[in-house]
């Protein structure tokens, strides 16, 4: 059975690194994996989305709307932007992060005041994780994405040792220990 995962956020949050880590953990666990990424205006804080499909044999990297089993969102509004991709009972991990887009800071748009309520109303299996606080506690503020991967790992059928191996191959050596701590703290934040 093929599983579908949407990762979304804004440029600079580490969506592409998260996609690499999750894809490589799936590969190490014996799955066929296909991915695609849309960078958009990533360098300017624009929307970034990556799709990962894994299973026994995967033939396309594209996820159809309404078929995603999992979502990892590093920003709240981005979770709502890609909500149509989720199955009704899909697992949604959302960072407690709010990044004000340029359209809001210039007055062209308004950031919803009730975004948490909108998220709860939209997703049946929603888990909010303060990835930034976890990353700071771990000694590396840039590891918020890894903290959320840790939370998501509770639901993915990957081998436990795959995560540490992949992180050690992907994250710079000087930040590895902090990222490993962030991963474990993120995992415990949900504790499935």
pLDDT digits over 79-137, tens only?
999 999 999 999 999 999 888 776 677 777 788 889 999 999 999 999 999 999 999 99
**Cα–Cα distance measured from residue 23 to residue 46, given in angstroms and rounded to the nearest whole number:** 23
Return the number of other C-beta atoms located less than 10 Å from residue 129's C-beta: 23
Asked if residues 160 and 27 have their Cβ atoms less than 8 Å apart, the reply is no
CA gyration radius, the chain: 16
Q: Rounded distance, CA 179 to CA 31, Å?
A: 24
Average pLDDT for 70-80? 94
Residue 62 reports pLDDT greater than 70: yes
Quick: pLDDT tens for 136-161: 999 999 999 999 999 999 999 999 89
Which two tokens mark 33? 């994996």
Task: Confirm if 42 and 36 have CB atoms less than 8 A apart.
Answer: no
Answer for the pair 11, 42: CB distance below 8 angstroms, yes or no: yes
Query: Residues 49, 37: contact at Cβ < 8 Å?
Result: yes
pLDDT of 47 reads: 78
Instruction: Say what the pLDDT of residue 123 is.
Output: 97
pTM of the model: 0.92
pLDDT at residue 39 tops 60: no
The pLDDT value recorded for residue 44 is 58
* Domain 3-190, architecture per CATH: 3-Layer(aba) Sandwich (3.40)
Over residues 180-184, mean pLDDT? 97
Report pLDDT for 107.
Answer: 79
Q: Where are the domains of the chain?
A: 3-190
Q: What angle do CA 102, 136, 162 make, to 5 degrees?
A: 100
Mean pLDDT over residues 9-22, rounded? 90
pLDDT at 191: 59
What's the pLDDT score for residue 29? 97
Q: Cα dihedral sign for 36, 42, 45, 47?
A: negative
The answer to whether residue 35 scores a pLDDT higher than 70 is yes
Rounded average pLDDT over 67-86: 95
Strands (E), the chain: 3-10, 32-38, 47-55, 68-73, 86-95, 125-129
pLDDT averaged over every residue in the chain = 91
With tokens 């300017």, the residue in question is 44
pLDDT at 42 over 60: no
């Amino acid at each position: 059975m093929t599983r579908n995962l949407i990762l979304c956020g804004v440029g600079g949050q580490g969506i592409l690194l998260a996609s690499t880590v999750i894809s490589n953990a799936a590969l190490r666990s014996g799955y066929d994996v296909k991915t695609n990424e849309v960078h958009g205006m990533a360098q300017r804080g624009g929307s970034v989305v990556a799709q990962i499909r894994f299973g026994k044999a995967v033939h396309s990297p594209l996820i159809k709307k309404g078929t995603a089993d999992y979502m990892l969102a590093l920003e709240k509004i981005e979770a709502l932007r890609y909500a149509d991709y989720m199955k009704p009972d899909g697992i949604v991990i959302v960072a407690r992060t709010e990044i004000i887009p340029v359209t809001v800071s210039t007055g062209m748009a308004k950031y919803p005041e009730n975004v948490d309520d909108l998220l709860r109303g939209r997703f049946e299996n929603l888990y909010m994780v303060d990835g930034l606080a976890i990353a700071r506690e771990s000694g590396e503020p840039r590891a918020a994405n890894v903290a959320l991967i840790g939370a998501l790992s509770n639901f993915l059928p990957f081998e436990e040792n795959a995560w540490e191996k992949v992180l050690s191959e992907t994250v710079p050596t000087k930040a590895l220990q902090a990222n490993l701590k962030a991963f474990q703290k993120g995992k415990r934040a949900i504790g499935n």
